[in-house]
Amino acid sequence: MNKLKKITGKPLFLPIFCMLLVMAVNIVYDVSSGNFAFNFFTISVRNGVLYGRLIDILNRGSEVTILAIGMTLVVSASAGTDISVGSVMSLAASFCCMLLAGYGVSAANDLAVPLIVGVLGAILMGCICGAFNGFLVAYLNVQPMVATLILFSAARAIGLLLCNNLIVYVRNESFQFFGGYLGFLPTPIVIAAVCIAIVGILLKKTALGLYIQSVGINKRASRIAGLNSARIIFLCYLVCGLAAGIAGLVASSRISSADSNNIGLNYELDAILAVALGGNSLGGGKFNLAGSIIGAYTIQAISITLYALGVSTEQAPVYKAIIVILIVTIQAPPFKAWIKRMNAKRALEKGGAAA
């Protein structure tokens, strides 16, 4: 009993447990459908690049992972979530493709501007959106989710405007690189790894992590202790917007186009779910970035498993929504109190029976 508690009490228990669960489901599925039992874990080399379901998860999960990094910081510092990330991804992608193809052009094989302009444009657009959200939340004290709701619905519309209501295709190899391959590794994996590394180093080498958690736990006390709470919250939203910009770039490069209506669709749910699954409280405060990252890949594993089981992309949110509700219910104080009461009651009954 005590040992169990010790294990379940570990910070990374929830995400790792879920990951193992998903793997188990995959093994059962493979066995029952007559495949090799460890199909899930097989990695092979085909056409000079890595191949396999695990690689697929790492690859496809890159965007969610990048978003989860930003989302983790936002949740920690402001006890709210940024629900605009999916739309901001789409806007960044549209902006990038619009720059690369030229305004009003629906398909281009040659770049209208140097690639770097497009890339920086996407990132800049993400930052602007993040700054907008951050300003509303940190300086105007608007509830985080209401503030981000504005861009949640407007960003896609702005993206459509930028693309003149078209799906803009950029069929250029240099642009496709971000969603393609770097040597034998899919580039998105590398980009996600770089993002993780940069934020990891930032958290390790600067006091950012301490500041964010401190503000998230107790804003007033942090102020007295000399922190500029508003600026720190603003910064978190900025980083979140930046992450959305990068994710948008990767997503649009993958499909060589800016499909405003579909890029980043439902990604906000995945990113929030990744944070919750990573064992972080959506009420803010302490955070564990490693948890969120494992959480993000777990989400992707869940998605891919669901698709393998014949669930369509559009239906998958049903299951994810149920998981979200389950996790936040487990975290909810009234639920915890109820469990405690039930345990106490059981203990009392046991004691009564023994006596």
Partner 1 sequence: MKTRKINSNTMLLLITIALFFVMYIAGCAIYASKGFAHLQTFLNILINNAGLLCVACGMTCVMLTGGIDISVGALIAMDCMLLAVGMERWGMNSMVLCVLVLAVGVVFGLVQGFCVGYLEIQPFIVTMAGMFFARGMTAVICTDQVSISANEFFVKLANMKIEIPFGAYTNSKGVLQVPFIRITVVIALVVLIAVFLMLRFTKFGRSLYAVGGNEQSATMMGLDVKKTKLKAYVLSSFLCSIGGICFCLNTMSGSVRQALGLEMDAIASAVIGGTLLTGGVGNVIGSFFGVLINGTISTLVKTHGKLLSSWSNIAVAALLCFFIVLQSIFAKLKDNKK
Partner 2 sequence: MDQNVVLTMRGITMTFPGVKALDHVDFTLRSGEIHALMGENGAGKSTLIKCLTGINAFEAGEIHVAGIQGPVVNHSTLDAQKKGISTVYQEVNLCPNLSVAENLFIGREPKTRLGTIDWKEMNRRSQKIMTDLDMNIDVTQNLEEYSLALQQMIAIARAVDMDCKVLILDEPTSSLDDNEVAKLFRLMKQLKEKGVGIVFVTHFLEQVYAVCDRITVLRNGQLVGEYPIAELPRVKLVAAMMGKDFDDLAAIKSEEAPAFSDEDLLIDAQGMSHKGTIKPFNLQIHKGEVVGLTGLLGSGRSELARVIYGADRNQTGTLKVKGQEVKINAPIDAMNLGMGLLPDDRKAEGIIGDLSVRENIILALQAKRGMFRLLPMKEQVEIADKYIEMLQIKTASRETLIRQLSGGNQQKVILGRWLATDPDFLILDEPTRGIDIGTKTEIQKLVLKLAGEGKSLIFISSEIEEMLRTCSKMAVLRDGVKVGEITEELSQETVMKAIAGGGSDE
Please, what is the minimum distance in Å from the beta carbon of residue 232 to partner 2? Answer: 9
- Separation between Cα atoms, residue 127 and residue 22, nearest integer Å: 35
**Residues between 283 and 312 that touch partner 2 (CB under 8 A):** 285-286
Whole-angstrom distance, CA of residue 143 vs CA of residue 323: 24
Number of neighbours of residue 326 by Cβ within 10 angstroms:
11
State in angstroms the smallest separation of the CB of 266 from partner 1: 7
* DSSP secondary structure string for all residues of 243-258: HHHHHHHHHHHHTTEE
Of the residues 31, 197, 221, 332, which one makes contact with partner 2 according to CB under 8 A: 221
Indicate which of partner 1, partner 2, none lies near residue 286 (CB less than 5 to 8 Å, by partner kind).
Answer: partner 2
Residue 337: CB atoms within 10 A of its CB come to 10
**Residues that contact partner 1, how many (by CB under 8 A):** 48
Q: Identify which of residues 132 and 211 has a Cβ nearer to partner 2 in the complex.
A: 211
189-218 residues in contact with partner 2 (CB under 8 A) are: 205-208, 210-211, 213-214, 217-218
CB nearer partner 1, residue 146 or residue 201: 146
Q: Which of 3, 314, 353, 355 is the binder for partner 1 (CB under 8 A)?
A: 314
Contact 209, 69 (CB under 8 A): no
Span of 138-146, 219-227, 236-244, 266-274 interacting with partner 2 by CB under 8 A: 219-227
- Whose structure tokens read 């690859």? 59
HEC sequence for 191-214 = HHHHHHHHHHHHHHHCCHHHHHHH
Residue 325 is a binding residue for partner 1 (CB under 8 A): yes
* Interface with partner 2, residue 227, by CB under 8 A: yes
- With CB under 5 to 8 Å by kind, the binding choice for 210 among partner 1, partner 2, none is partner 2
- Give Cβ neighbours of residue 208 (< 8 Å, ≥ 6 apart): 202
Distance separating alpha carbons of residues 178 and 172, to the nearest angstrom: 11
Contact of 78 with 216, CB cutoff 8 Å:
yes
**313 with 294: CB under 8 angstroms?**
no
Which span (64-72, 109-117, 234-242, 326-334) binds partner 1, by CB under 8 A?
A: 326-334
CB of 207 vs partner 2, minimal distance in Å: 5
The residues of the shown chain that bind partner 2, judged by CB under 8 A, are 205-208, 210-211, 213-214, 217-218, 220-228, 285-286
